[in-house]
Amino acid sequence: MLEKSKSASPEELAISYPSDQAEVVAQYYDTLSQGQLEEAYAFYSQARKARLPFENWKKGMSHTYFIRLKTFYIVENPDVVYASFIATEYSSDWSDLKTREFSGEWTLVRENGLWKMDKSNISEVAQ
């Protein structure tokens, strides 16, 4: 996705890139769940990437085994998408798997005509 987007025309980007905010968030979690970290990171805004460099973000994902998006939708503000998902993480020696649920909101911004994920207010759901 990253390489194609560098050489793609605006028309090609419009066809292959999600067209609304909720679709961007859904595609992000789908890409993430497939272990395509570089492609998932491409959904982030330039400002988010500046705050969270790829290598740091990747380290934070190093023990994530599985992610499943449960629900997502645009809230009252069209720049904000609610998302809830389940993440399963493993211990460094694989002796323990822990599944946790998270929910919250993503704020998206427009960059070069595309919606990008900028800020998150995601937290673990108390069990």
- Amino acid residing at 34: Q
Partners of 97 in beta bridges:
90
**Helix (H) or strand (E) segment spanning residue 85:** strand 80-90
- Looking at CATH, the fold of the domain delimited by 2-124 is given as Nuclear Transport Factor 2; Chain: A, (3.10.450)
- List per-residue pLDDT tens for the chain, 127 residues long: 334 344 444 544 445 566 689 999 999 999 998 989 999 999 999 999 999 999 999 998 888 888 999 999 999 888 999 999 999 988 777 788 899 999 999 999 999 989 999 999 999 998 7
**Helix (H) or strand (E) segment spanning residue 2:** helix 2-7
Mapped onto helix, strand or coil, the DSSP state of residue 26 is: helix
Domain ranges of the chain: 2-124
> pTM of the predicted model, to two decimals?
0.81
